[in-house]
């Protein structure tokens, strides 16, 4: 029992940890991927605003060509040289001149990207007419794509309805010009960013797995200590019930014997009969408590044998048929013949007796009780159904197998026992590795199903 409790604790704990890790890992990676998309779209929007180029980049390239060592000055003289023979350049631009790319320009800072982005980015653009024919292609800023490849990418995207997306590792943006009836598609190489996203994903998965394994090891090592107080408390409670049951048996036997002697002396009396009845009730309660305590023992030795289950159920139900006739109740049964079962025959007899006794006890005069025993794929189904004298609260159905629970809250001894019958039935089914359930479809009948 406590092994199962410990296993459940480990499973639930690790399931919770796994769920938290998955949520955190998914959120972090989604945010990382979202940042990549955001940065790519910012760069594409700048390129779209400047006809597929970064502002000032063409002037920069022209200026570098003009200031090369082979170029001449405006007066036809060679560019000044340093003492070591290299060309010398003046970074100060005269008034009225144009500096091709100013480092103090806040344009890129206002867009949320670095001033080095134009030099780090690889991009190209393709312009198409209304029929999808390529009218212009610019692949100067990328080495991995030629004009034919760029045209094929553009043709693939031209028929799509959305304005931006991914083609392989290239993030693209569509820009339409209604005046010229052309469409410019700008592509940005995101290979490095997507590779970083993939590497980050693999890293988070590996770190999460290592963390999950570490937590699982700690939970397994500490779970025994966590469950131990519950186990000790339960063992003390069970030992108390067993000891109290054995201690009560002797005085109850003496009282019952004394009542018999007293009846021989004074004759029959309603007081003696009532005392004997209460003594029998206490004896039954004590026996039930001791039986439940023994059924809960993990190492309980049960004599498992093969026995004719159909014959046993038929035999037990015969006595209840007579009782049903006396109480003017209808009893029907469907018992599959020739069913055998490997288990504790005495416990199974008690199980059938408890279910039928419970059904007869709580069904009204004129009510119906049905017994079913059939073979199913999951095992043997033993089902008892009865109509009830009062409506059944759906919340009470889940508590029917609790110890000392009774639907009759008045706890009238005339209509019920101590509320241990169905608890014993559950213990018997559990000992046979089965499952027992209770259900009330219409609120006026109760069906208890046990799968052995």
> Are 310 and 447 found together in one domain?
yes
pTM of the full predicted structure? 0.54
The last residue of a domain, from among 144, 161, 189: 189
Q: Domains in the chain: how many in total?
A: 2
Give the torsion sign (CA, 200, 202, 207, 208): positive
pLDDT for residue 1: 63
Domain match, 312 and 178 both:
no
Residue 103 maps to a domain: no
Per-residue pLDDT of the chain (452 residues; tens, 9 = 90+): 677 778 888 899 999 999 999 999 999 999 999 999 999 998 998 888 888 888 766 555 445 545 544 444 444 444 444 444 444 444 444 444 444 444 445 666 666 677 788 888 899 999 999 888 999 999 999 999 999 999 999 998 888 888 899 998 999 999 888 888 889 999 999 999 999 999 999 999 999 999 999 999 999 888 888 877 877 777 777 677 667 776 777 787 888 788 888 888 888 788 888 888 888 878 877 777 777 766 665 445 567 888 999 999 999 888 888 888 888 889 988 899 999 999 888 889 989 988 998 888 888 888 899 999 999 888 899 999 988 877 777 777 777 877 766 665 544 555 556 677 788 888 888 888 889 888 888 778 888 899 98
Q: CATH number, domain at 413?
A: 3.30.565.10
Residue 285 lies in a domain: no
Instruction: Tell me: do 185 and 309 sit in the same domain.
Output: no
Do 441 and 314 lie in a common domain? yes
Q: Is 413 within 8 Å of 282 (Cβ atoms)?
A: no
- Decide if 392 contacts 446 (C-beta within 8 A): yes
**What residue spans of 67-174 are helical by DSSP H?**
107-110, 117-120, 147-158
| Residue 113 lies inside a defined structural domain of this protein | no
In DSSP terms, which residues pair with 63 in a beta bridge?
none
pLDDT of residue 73: 42
> Last residue of a domain, which of 171, 189, 207?
189
206 belongs to a structural domain:
no
Q: SS3 for 38? A: helix
Task: Count the neighbouring beta carbons within 10 Å of the beta carbon of residue 156.
Answer: 12
In which domain, by residue range, is 171 found? 122-189
CATH number, domain containing residue 176:
3.30.450.30
Choosing from 189, 219, 240, the residue where a domain stops is 189
């Amino acid at each position: 029992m406590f092994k199962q409790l410990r296993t459940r604790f480990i499973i639930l704990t690790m399931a919770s940890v796994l769920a938290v890790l998955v949520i955190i890992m998914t959120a972090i990676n989604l945010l990382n991927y979202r940042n990549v998309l955001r940065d790519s779209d910012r760069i594409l929007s700048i390129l779209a605003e400047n006809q597929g180029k970064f502002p000032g980049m063409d002037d920069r390239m022209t200026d570098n060509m003009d200031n090369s060592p082979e170029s001449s000055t405006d007066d036809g003289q060679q560019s000044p040289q340093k003492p070591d023979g290299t060309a010398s350049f003046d970074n100060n631009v005269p008034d009225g001149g144009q500096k091709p790319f100013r480092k103090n320009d806040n344009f890129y800072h206002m867009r949320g990207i670095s001033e080095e982005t134009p030099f780090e980015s690889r991009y190209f653009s393709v312009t198409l007419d209304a029929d999808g024919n390529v009218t212009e292609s610019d692949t100067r800023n990328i080495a991995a794509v030629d004009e034919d490849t760029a045209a094929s990418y553009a043709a693939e995207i031209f028929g799509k309805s959305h304005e931006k997306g991914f083609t392989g590792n290239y993030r693209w943006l569509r820009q339409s010009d209604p005046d010229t009836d052309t469409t410019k598609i700008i592509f940005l190489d995101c290979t490095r960013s997507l590779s970083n996203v993939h590497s980050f994903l693999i890293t988070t998965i590996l770190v999460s797995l290592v963390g999950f394994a570490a937590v699982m090891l700690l939970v397994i090592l500490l779970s025994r200590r966590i469950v131990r107080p519950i186990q000790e408390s339960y063992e003390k409670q069970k030992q108390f019930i067993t000891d109290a049951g054995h201690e009560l048996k002797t005085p109850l036997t003496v009282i019952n014997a004394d009542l018999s002697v007293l009846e021989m002396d004074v004759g029959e009396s309603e007081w003696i009969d009532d005392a004997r009845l209460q003594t029998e009730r206490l004896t039954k309660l004590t026996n039930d408590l001791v039986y439940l305590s023994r059924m809960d023992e993990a190492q309980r030795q049960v004599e498992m044998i093969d026995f004719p289950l159909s014959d046993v159920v038929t035999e037990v139900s015969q006595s209840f048929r007579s009782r049903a006739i006396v109480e003017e109740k209808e009893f029907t049964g469907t018992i599959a013949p020739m069913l055998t079962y490997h288990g504790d025959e005495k416990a199974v007899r008690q199980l059938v007796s408890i279910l039928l006794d419970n059904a007869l006890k709580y069904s009204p005069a004129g009510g119906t009780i049905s017994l079913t025993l059939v073979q199913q794929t999951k095992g043997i189904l033993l089902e008892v159904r009865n109509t009830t004298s009062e409506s059944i609260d759906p919340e009470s159905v889940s508590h029917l197998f609790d110890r000392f629970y009774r639907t009759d809250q008045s706890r009238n001894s005339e209509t019920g026992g101590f509320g241990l019958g169905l608890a014993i039935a559950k213990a018997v089914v559990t000992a046979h590795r089965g499952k027992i359930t209770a259900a009330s479809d219409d609120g006026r009948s109760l069906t208890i199903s046990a799968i052995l």
